Structure 1
Amino acid sequence: MTRRLLTMIGAFGLVIGLMAGTPAWAVNPDEMLSNPVLEKRARDISQELRCLVCQNQSIDDSDAELARDLRVLVRERLIAGDTNEEAIDYIVARYGDYVLLNPPLKPETYILWASPAVLAILALLAVFAFYRRKQREASNATTSLSRDEQARLDEILGTSNGDKKS
């Protein structure tokens, strides 16, 4: 029974691993070029360009209509004789550096490059402040009572200097 269960779990893990490891190409057959060299170049370029709808997918992986339009535009530029760099520059000229999955480091893109580090630092500061506040609250809770507070507590509890009143 246990052996069968382990075998099923292993098989399930293998299937999931195989499915996760294969990319889901969104390129439709009607978009593909008949020239395999140009198609390969188009695929290479498409892997470098961000889908502006999905934002964390390349246009090669995205099913969005805008991604399809960009794939077609890349192929049109290649058919027109553009090099890979010229085709990418054409797309960047129209949509800006944000369309690149790996934007260049320049003053206009500093925020794109710096934001992950800034967010990580802010998260660390928030965690530090949280634990610092917890530590302060814990130390405040263990402070001793003043003489007046102790006398009032003894009065309420009915004790005087540790002796019980009857």
Structure 2
Amino acid sequence: MVESDEGLAQAFRQAMRCVASTVNVISICDGGEPMGITATAMSSLALDPPSLLVCINRAASLYGSMESVSHFGVNVLHRDQEYIARMFADRQQHALRFASGWEVDGARPPRLADAQACFLCRRIDHHQFGTHSIFIGVVEDVVVRKDVDPLVYLNGNYGSTTIAGA
């Protein structure tokens, strides 16, 4: 167990606000019910096999189901989808989350039709650490939007970073 130091935790929190992250909706389907949350803790893990990891807070609404589903989706949001990030971060908007723009079939994780990129992952492992768990998925399908302008989160704000020539 790692000891808690409130000063260090505050400094870490402040430093992480300086790290830009893409904004994602992690999606699953549990018993035919689509579920999703906004998350920034996603990273590529390996090219062989193509794999990702996502970090989910154990207090998140889909955490219990995430431990038992066979697949999860990572929907990387485009700059014009900030409203989706806010909707999936707000538990009061639960009923609206998959109302439009999503491909939902009740079996596979929902896929955002116009996302920057979508990854379908077969969940192969997870590890608990602190308040979160790291879920590892082998990528089985990828869909990419042609215009590159992902939604990013930096210093408590949503924004964009367009790189010339991208």
Q: Is this a same-fold pair by TM over 0.5?
A: no
Could you say which structure has the higher strand fraction? 2
Structure whose CA Rg is larger? 1
Q: Which has the higher helix share?
A: 1
TM-score normalised by the chain length of structure 2: 0.28
Larger relative contact order, structure 1 or 2 (CA cutoff 8 Å, min sep 6): 2
What is the TM-score with the length of structure 1 in the denominator?
0.28
